């Protein structure tokens, strides 16, 4: 999704903004632009469709990069209203050329405002909803009755929808204004320098002192000073400065060509980090839930809501909670939950899972759950994110920043948290003995064996390359491994653009089997558990239709060897760890198919890292 970076200080802003735009590239975009307001009061806007590199080349060609001490705003655009071209790229100016703005989100009532402004002889250059907003600010300012801050406030009070904006005005060159509603914005502070980002990635290199703007807040930076106010009225609010401890390393690929590859490998540490310190002598300590645990353990209904990969983690969570704690769980896509008549009430717990913590549908689902009086629990990777702030309580996955658009390490961390949650609930409602819980918490061996799975990389690569030209895949698993199959299929679709479907293995014969022919690879996830024999029958059914069989298993039985065209063994472990191992295999499998097809794994077409629009 769109990204914002802005700088105000004494340094040349171009290098800071361009570096920031590069850091934001992971979010997905189709054009980029930058506007600088120099000390002499001149605003220079440069925009390009395509990559930040093209913007950078354009700036170099015009000798601009060396050239601007002052304030600057920059943007990567992921098109919603209007084509992805140079005219529609941000920043946008008002008609007078005084005011310039970047915007994330969608202005829903742009059409009537545009009609109104046209009636006032305002001419539009782009097809965007964003230009409507900057023209509206300009309309108020240029009437001469309101100052810049008042004009921004007046305009924002008239727009519906979601926004994170940063605005400059050459008539008040010392001032930079940022505001948010629905779309996140972060303010970084370092002495007399200010940095604004749609997330912390463009800021972290410069400062760890951060203020997460809250919904419906704005910040007005004037010279070396700043204030936080609400959008509704000019009343100074407290400045909640936090120190963030994200590492700069998270934004560096190190020895890896792609972030996704690095992040797959990081799972050796991220799963460990996520569980470490959260268990002690058979007890599970989830500090973030402490204040609400009494109510949580008594809730008679549990809902899990999320999108994409996080939703797959939710399906695993359901299985674990029902298995361990014997409480029924309903899992629903956040985009459906927000509109369905789901039976949430003040005796429900709603668990919202989100890597980014900024997914619009998940936030809307949380709002609905809060409105219904449910206890909302966030499982989220980004401290300070909207999910972490909008939920009553929560648990952070501790995997560091995930840059690759295809989620990997966040998924395995999410299921690790859900595993702890399920066991803690089982402990609280006495549905499992202390002894069994203790056994389940013995992660030692399993965590060590993640390395062995990653060591299979070359073997997985060879198999992946063999199938890279297939057009369709089926991924099949049962029980806990059905969501793993869904996740494997999603990974392949996202980064290789190959059509793939995940199904419960037995469900395949109720329709999808019609697709099977000699060219179709079928990936089976086969742990040696009580479903083993049944899955073998499912494999036989595909085999007899000449489908290619790829098996991921922890069983060395001859029967699998005979059935498989390709076999990937993972170390013996428990149910939960098997899921993790199989997931890692499927992540590497998708990765190598995409690399084999020479695709940009970190920035798949049409996708955005955090989906901040509905
Ligand atoms: O940040 P979130 O976990 O809320 O994101 C949800 C989905 O948009 C996300 O998982 C998406 O499906 C990923 N691209 C999956 O790789």
Q: What is the DSSP string of 571-611?
A: ----HHHHHHHHHHHHHHHHHHHHHHTT--SSS-TT--SS-
* pLDDT reported for residue 62: 79
Which of 332-341, 392-401, 488-497 has maximum average pLDDT? 488-497
Fold topology of 254-442: Rossmann fold (3.40.50)
* pLDDT digit string, tens, across residues 372-426: 999 999 999 988 788 998 999 999 998 888 989 999 999 999 999 999 999 999 9
- Cβ-based neighbours of 241, under 8 Å, separated by 6 or more: 189, 209, 210, 211
Bigger pLDDT: 608 or 598? 598
* pLDDT reported for residue 29: 83
How many angstroms is it from 200 CA to the middle of ligand 1? 18
| Tokens matching residue 236 | 């100074």
For ligand 1, atom 12, which residue shows the shortest CA distance? 308
**To test ligand 1's pocket by mutation, which of 611, 612, 613, 614 has the most ligand atoms within 8 angstroms of CB?**
611
How many angstroms is it from 59 CA to the middle of ligand 1? 34
Bigger pLDDT: 68 or 474? 474
- Residue written as token pair 């989620």: 407
Which of 307-316, 396-405, 431-440, 538-547 has maximum average pLDDT? 307-316
162 bridge partner residues? 106
Q: Domain residue spans in the chain?
A: 3-245, 254-442, 455-602
* pLDDT digit string, tens, across residues 437-490: 999 998 888 889 999 999 999 999 999 999 999 999 999 999 999 999 999 999
Compute φ and ψ for 545, nearest 5 degrees.
-105, 20
**To test ligand 1's pocket by mutation, which of 199, 304, 306, 308 has the most ligand atoms within 8 angstroms of CB?**
308
Which pairing describes strands 242-243 and 31-38: parallel, antiparallel, or unpaired? unpaired
Compute φ and ψ for 561, nearest 5 degrees.
-60, -45
* pLDDT reported for residue 446: 87
Closest ligand 1 atom to residue 610 Cα is 1
**End-to-end alpha-carbon separation of the chain, Å?**
12
**Do residues 593 and 467 make contact, with C-beta atoms less than 8 angstroms apart?**
yes
CATH class of 455-602: alpha beta
Q: How many CB atoms lie within 10 A of CB 61?
A: 10
How many angstroms is it from 304 CA to the middle of ligand 1? 15
d(CA 228, CA 235): 8
The most distant pair of C-alpha atoms in the chain lies apart, rounded to whole Å, by 84
Compute φ and ψ for 271, nearest 5 degrees.
-70, -40
| Ligand 1 pocket at CB < 6 A | 307-310, 354-356, 359, 362, 405-407, 494, 607, 610-611
| Domain 254-442 and domain 455-602 have a common topology | yes
Rounded mean pLDDT of 285-299? Answer: 94
Which pairing describes strands 329-333 and 301-306: parallel, antiparallel, or unpaired? parallel
C-alpha separations of 301 from 7, 265, 288, 327 in Å? 47, 37, 20, 7
d(CA 234, CA 227): 10
- Residue 74, H or E segment: strand 69-77
Fold topology of 3-245: 3.60.20
Helix, strand, coil % in the chain, rounded to nearest 5: 40, 25, 35
| Dihedral sign from CA coordinates of 507, 512, 513, 519 | negative
- Residue 46, H or E segment: strand 43-49
* pLDDT digit string, tens, across residues 131-141: 999 999 999 99
| Residues involved in catalysis | 2, 609
Query: Angle at CA 276, nearest 5°, toward 271 and 279?
Result: 125
| Tokens matching residue 353 | 């899972």
C-alpha separations of 543 from 132, 321, 327, 532 in Å? 59, 35, 38, 16
How many angstroms is it from 530 CA to the middle of ligand 1? 31
Burial annotation 240-267 (CB, 10 A radius, 16+ → b, else e): eeeebebeeebbebeeeebbbbbbbbbb
For ligand 1, atom 4, which residue shows the shortest CA distance? 354
**No. of helices (H) and no. of strands (E), the chain:** 20, 27
* pLDDT reported for residue 578: 95
Burial annotation 124-153 (CB, 10 A radius, 16+ → b, else e): eebebbbbbbbbbbbbbbbeeebebbebbb
C-alpha separations of 302 from 177, 309, 338, 350 in Å? 42, 19, 16, 6
d(CA 64, CA 42): 13
pTM of the predicted model, to two decimals?
A: 0.78
pLDDT > 70? residue 292: yes
Which pairing describes strands 186-190 and 92-93: parallel, antiparallel, or unpaired? unpaired
* pLDDT digit string, tens, across residues 96-119: 999 999 999 888 899 999 999 999
Rounded mean pLDDT of 81-90? Answer: 84
- Residue written as token pair 């992660």: 443
- Cβ-based neighbours of 308, under 8 Å, separated by 6 or more: 407, 490
* pLDDT reported for residue 218: 96
Closest ligand 1 atom to residue 410 Cα is 3
How many angstroms is it from 611 CA to the middle of ligand 1? 8
- Cβ-based neighbours of 266, under 8 Å, separated by 6 or more: 399, 400, 409
| Residue 326 DSSP SS3 | coil
Burial annotation 311-332 (CB, 10 A radius, 16+ → b, else e): bbbbbbbbbbbeebbebebbbb
**Do residues 440 and 469 make contact, with C-beta atoms less than 8 angstroms apart?**
no
């Amino acid at each position: 999704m769109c990204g914002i970076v802005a700088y105000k200080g004494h340094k040349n802003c171009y290098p800071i903004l361009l570096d920031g735009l590069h850091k934001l590239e992971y979010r997905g975009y189709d054009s980029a632009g930058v506007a600088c307001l120099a000390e002499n009061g001149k605003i220079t806007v440069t925009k390009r469709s395509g990559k930040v590199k093209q913007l950078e080349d354009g700036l170099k060609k015009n000798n601009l990069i060396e050239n601007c001490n002052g304030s600057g705003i920059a943007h990567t655009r992921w098109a919603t209203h209007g084509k992805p071209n140079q005219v529609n790229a941000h920043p946008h100016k008002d008609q007078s050329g005084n005011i310039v703005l970047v915007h994330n989100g969608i202005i829903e009532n742009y059409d009537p405002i545009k009609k109104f402004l046209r009636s006032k002889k305002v001419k539009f250059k782009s097809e965007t909803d964003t230009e409507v907003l900057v023209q509206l600010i300009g309309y108020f300012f240029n009437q001469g009755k309101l100052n810049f801050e008042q004009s921004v406030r007046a305009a924002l009070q008239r727009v519906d929808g979601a926004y994170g904006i940063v605005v400059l005005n050459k008539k008040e060159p010392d001032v930079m204004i940022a505001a948010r509603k629905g779309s996140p914005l972060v303010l970084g502070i370092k002495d007399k320098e200010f940095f604004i980002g749609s997330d912390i990635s463009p800021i972290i290199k410069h400062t760890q002192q951060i203020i997460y703007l809250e919904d419906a807040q704005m910040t007005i930076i004037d010279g070396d000073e700043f204030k936080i106010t609400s959008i509704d009225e000019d009343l100074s609010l407290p400045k909640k400065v936090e120190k963030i401890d994200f590492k700069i390393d998270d934004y560096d690929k190190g020895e890896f060509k792609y972030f996704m590859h690095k992040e797959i490998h990081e799972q050796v540490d991220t799963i460990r980090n996520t569980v470490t310190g959260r268990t002690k002598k058979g007890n599970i300590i989830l500090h973030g839930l402490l204040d609400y645990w009494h109510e949580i353990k008594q809730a008679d209904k549990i809902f899990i809501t999320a999108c994409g990969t996080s939703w797959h983690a939710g399906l695993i969570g359901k299985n674990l909670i029902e298995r361990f704690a014997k409480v029924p769980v309903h899992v629903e896509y956040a985009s459906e939950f927000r509109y369905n008549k789901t039976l949430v009430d003040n005796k429900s717990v709603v668990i919202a899972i989100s890597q980014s913590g900024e997914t619009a549908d998940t936030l809307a689902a949380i709002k609905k759950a809060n409105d219904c009086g449910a206890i909302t629990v966030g499982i989220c990777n980004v401290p300070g994110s909207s999910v972490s702030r909008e939920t009553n309580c929560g648990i952070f996955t501790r995997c560091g920043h995930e840059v690759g658009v295809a989620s990997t390490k966040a998924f395995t961390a999410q299921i690790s948290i859900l595993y702890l949650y399920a066991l803690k609930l089982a402990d609280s409602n006495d549905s499992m003995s202390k002894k069994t819980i203790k056994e389940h918490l013995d992660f030692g061996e399993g965590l060590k064996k993640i390395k062995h799975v990653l060591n299979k990389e070359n073997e997985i690569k060879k198999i992946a390359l063999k199938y890279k030209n297939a057009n369709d895949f089926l991924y099949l698993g049962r029980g806990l491994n059905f969501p793993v199959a869904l996740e494997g299929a999603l990974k392949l679709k996202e980064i290789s653009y190959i059509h793939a479907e995940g199904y419960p293995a037995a469900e395949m014969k109720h329709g999808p089997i019609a697709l099977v022919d000699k060219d179709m690879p079928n990936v089976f996830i086969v742990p040696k558990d009580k479903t083993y024999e049944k899955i073998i029958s499912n494999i036989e059914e595909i085999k007899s239709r000449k489908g290619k069989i790829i098996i991921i298993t922890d069983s060395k039985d001859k029967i699998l060897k005979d059935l498989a065209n390709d076999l990937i063994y993972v170390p013996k472990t428990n149910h939960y760890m098997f899921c993790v191992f199989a997931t890692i295999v499927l992540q590497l499998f998708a990765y190598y198919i995409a690399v084999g097809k020479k695709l940009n794994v970190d920035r798949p077409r049409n996708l955005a890292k955090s989906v901040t629009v509905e």
